[in-house]
Amino acid sequence: MKIISYNVNGIRAAMRKGLADWIKSESPDVLCIQETKAQPEQIETDIFNKMGYFCFFHSAEKKGYSGVAIFTKMPPDNIVMGMDNEKYDAEGRVLRADFGDLSIVSAYFPSGSAGDIRQDFKMEFLADFQVFLDNLRLTRPNIIVSGDYNICHKPIDIHNPERQVGVSGFLPEEREWLDNYEVSGMIDSFREFDKSGDNYSWWSYRTAARDKNLGWRIDYHWISDTLKDNLASARILSDAYHSDHCPVEVTIKL
């Protein structure tokens, strides 16, 4: 099963940049999308349906903001929107699809870069998401959480880490959360295959950061440790240019 996660930073804008043709070419079995920035009725799903995809959305109540989606070639057994927590579900941040004993979650973690209020919200989300996932794993132990975590885990995951001290997305408490996430039984699939530097998934639109590869690795497929032996490959698809992010891919053996 080939799974791709992509923060498209507005699915309608990405469609104008050739997103549909790219999806057709890559042909993932499951595509997890973040930041749709659209209501379901604003998205041209016919083009994806013709490619053989079932399309599911969890949009934010606020129009033009946040939102996640899952496109899948296999009909899921179950679709669950949100975390059963209105504070986060109103922002359209979590969508789950179940396939047999496997669950795939498309998640868009909050950014704290807008100031202290949103940083506090982000930290609350992280704590509540861990509880949500721990509870889910009691009945659904085989889980892949794909998406934009808005956190660089290690210094190797961000350019010039010494200059990023105190910056949201690389704060000690955020990175510690990912440390604990890992201890809880989650695996960063990309690092199982590639431990080198300069591998990023997001670049600021400012100062030609992408051309200089001054990026951050904040998009992940974290998998439960029960799936470790099923991992076949993981990579970053940095040649896709529909967003300020690029897609990340994981392949698992079912």
- Per the residue annotation, which of 21, 101, 148, 211 is the catalytic one? 148
The count of domains in the chain is 1
Q: Which two tokens stand for residue 33?
A: 């999308």
Determine the average pLDDT of the residues in 27-40.
98
Does 207 score more than 90 pLDDT?
no
User: What is the pLDDT, as a whole number, of residue 12?
Assistant: 98
Q: DSSP letters of the chain? A: -EEEEEE-SSHHHHHHTTHHHHHHHH--SEEEEE---S-GGGS--HHHHTTT-EEEEE--SSTTS--EEEEESS--SEEEES-S-HHHHTT--EEEEEETTEEEEEEEPPP-TT-HHHHHHHHHHHHHHHHHHHHHHHH--EEEEEEE-----SGGGBSSGGG-TT-TTS-HHHHHHHHHHHHTTEEEGGGGT---SS--SEE-TGGGTTTTT-EE--EEEEEEGGGGGGEEEEEE-TT--SSSB--EEEEE--
User: What is the pLDDT, as a whole number, of residue 37?
Assistant: 98
Determine the average pLDDT of the residues in 218-224.
98
Predicted confidence band of residue 206 (pLDDT cuts 50, 70, 90): confident
Does 158 score more than 90 pLDDT?
yes
Determine the average pLDDT of the residues in 83-112.
98
**Of 133, 144, 103, residue with least CA distance to 251:** 144
Residues 6+ apart with CB under 8 A from 157: 199, 200, 216, 217, 218
Determine the average pLDDT of the residues in 35-63.
97
User: What is the pLDDT, as a whole number, of residue 136?
Assistant: 98
Does 7 score more than 90 pLDDT?
yes
Whether the model clears a pTM of 0.85, i.e. scores above it, the answer is yes
Whether residue 148 lies in the annotated active site: yes
Q: Which two tokens stand for residue 185?
A: 């039984």
Does 232 score more than 90 pLDDT?
yes
The mean pLDDT value of the chain amounts to 97
- Tokens 């053996």 locate to 253
Determine the average pLDDT of the residues in 223-242.
98
Does 36 score more than 90 pLDDT?
yes
Query: Beta 68-72 vs 54-58: how paired, if at all?
Result: antiparallel
Predicted confidence band of residue 213 (pLDDT cuts 50, 70, 90): very high
Does 66 score more than 90 pLDDT?
yes
Does 78 score more than 90 pLDDT?
yes
Give me the domain span that covers residue 81: 2-252
Q: What is the CATH number of the domain that holds 51?
A: 3.60.10.10
